[in-house]
Amino acid sequence: MADVALPDNERDALIAMVVRGMARGEASPEQQSLADQGLILLKGPIMMPTPAGTEIVATLLRLSDDAPGRDKIMDTFRKFLPVNRRLRDLCTAWQVRPDGTANDHSDDGYDADIRDRLDDIDEAVGPLIKRFADELPRVAVYRPRLTTALEKFDEGDDSWLASPIIDSYHTVWMHLHQELLLTIGMSRKEDEELEERLVSGGTA
């Protein structure tokens, strides 16, 4: 099944579905065709990839171990993971204060500090996306998507930080992370273990 030939528009739609993990809404013609082929599952307004669809995308995106640029991608990925941890910690801090109580957003100073930290994270990830995109042009689209979410968050709509039902900053970041994992062929478990080693000062 992994060597099935798909038209470009269906291939791109399948990649997007696997990277996102799930989508809501009416199926596009490409998505309906993928469903007819058993590559995505339609359940009412919910769409998600099937194991067969995920396998195809893993094959499409996976770089071989001797691919040109793989060493640069892996080096950049090792720089990305500590920034990824900073974003995860920030999203937790946005929801829960250090004393364990829910953040009710009544402390303007506390929330302003988190917003400043997000700006620092955004500045850190920008050059990394550019380095990834030098070898993986598809990845370039994540820079403007993150910028859009950040701007909406800065305009006062808090849902644009981490809401899972829109392309919030955290949601777009997770899509970027997932596409990178599929590209380098790394499991979530391996990814988490590597991130922990990197942030704790261990060797990768």
Classify the phi-psi angles of 105: left when phi > 0, otherwise alpha if psi is within -120 to 50, otherwise beta: left
Quick one: 160 exposed, middle or buried, by C-beta within 10 A (0-12, 13-18, 19+)?
A: buried
Q: Would you say 59 and 185 are in contact if contact means Cβ atoms under 8 Å apart?
A: no
Please, what are the averages of pLDDT over each run of 10 residues along the chain (204 residues)?
Answer: 79 96 94 96 95 95 92 97 97 95 94 96 98 96 98 95 95 98 96 95 68
Classify the phi-psi angles of 101: left when phi > 0, otherwise alpha if psi is within -120 to 50, otherwise beta: beta
pLDDT of residue 181: 97
User: Which has the closest alpha carbon to 180: 169, 191, 171, 189?
Assistant: 191
pLDDT of residue 201: 82
User: Which has the closest alpha carbon to 175: 145, 150, 153?
Assistant: 145
- How far, in Å, are 5, 21, 103, 120 from residue 162 at the CA level? 36, 16, 14, 17
175 C-beta neighbours (distance < 10 Å), count: 19
Q: What's the CATH fold of domain 8-61?
A: Arc Repressor Mutant, subunit A (1.10.10)
Please report, for the chain, the start and end positions of each structural domain, with discontinuous segments joined by +: 8-61, 70-199
pLDDT of residue 5: 83
